[in-house]
Amino acid sequence: MTDAPPESPAPAPDPQRKLIGYAVLAAAVFIAVLAGAYVFLRPSGDSGKDVETPTGIVNPYPNTGPLDPNRPTEGEKAPDFALVDARDPSKVVKLSDYRGKAVILNWFASWCDPCKNEIPEFQAAQEKLGDQLVVLGVDYLEQPADAVGILDKFGATYPAVLDGAGTVAQHYRVTYMPTTFFIDKDGVLRVIKTGEVHDDALVTFLSKVGITYQP
């Protein structure tokens, strides 16, 4: 009776394969965390729209974009930027041009329904408050005709600029439309609001920048 040949030892685990497995697992966990953060942070009860922050887009308007390295933080100076005028793209407008007045800095787009709801409210505040306030609309990734068309439709005459490459939106961490920043006359950012601004909230937010307002 012949002895059975000895069993071959099991091959040692491949270190490279183990590293790949760990990397795949880590990536899956990271994606799950991001998904949970998205669900948690996304505004609820709003018919706005998440926006994809653009990368690698050629700026159609040279010499425009963020001018300060700092990011928007409540209680600190709002980062300055330069963008072209939506009604006259040969004209460059800076946020700092409005220093000395409170500013409602509002990202909008013609496809955004909550943006359309806000436009008449902002226009009414601009008309009532006069020189105390500037509403500055920032159109997101659209042509001048689209940006101006939606303002004209709702009778808005306040200034608007074109964020044609989304570079300022990216710098301001705008990831949802609409997003609005309330800035006081000294240029200090007081309120960051994601989603539609309603009448009662507008009164509260304007009080934060030193303005008493009653719609």
What is the per-residue DSSP string for 46-111? ---EE-PPP-SPPPSSTT-EE--SSPP-TTSBPPPEEEEESS-TTSEEEGGGGTTSEEEEEEE-TT
So what's the pLDDT on residue 62? Answer: 87
Torsion of CA 172, 173, 179, 185, to 10 degrees: -30
DSSP 166: S
Domain ranges (residues) in the chain:
14-43, 50-208
pLDDT tens string 50-80: 665 555 667 788 889 999 999 999 999 999 9
Instruction: With a cut of 70, list the residues of the chain below it in pLDDT.
Output: 1-57
DSSP 133: E
User: For the whole prediction, is pTM greater than 0.85?
Assistant: no
Q: Other CB atoms closer than 10 Å to residue 96's CB: what's the count?
A: 15
So what's the pLDDT on residue 57? Answer: 65
So what's the pLDDT on residue 51? Answer: 63
Let me know: does 72 contact 103? Beta carbons within 8 Å.
Answer: no
Question: 80 exposed, middle or buried (CB, 10 Å; 0-12, 13-18, 19+)?
Answer: middle
The CATH architecture annotation of domain 50-208 reads 3-Layer(aba) Sandwich (3.40)
Provide the angle, in degrees to the nearest 10, between the axes of the packed helices 113-129 and 199-208. 50
| The token pair that represents 35 in the structure block | 């998904």
Q: Which residues pair with 140 in a beta bridge?
A: 163
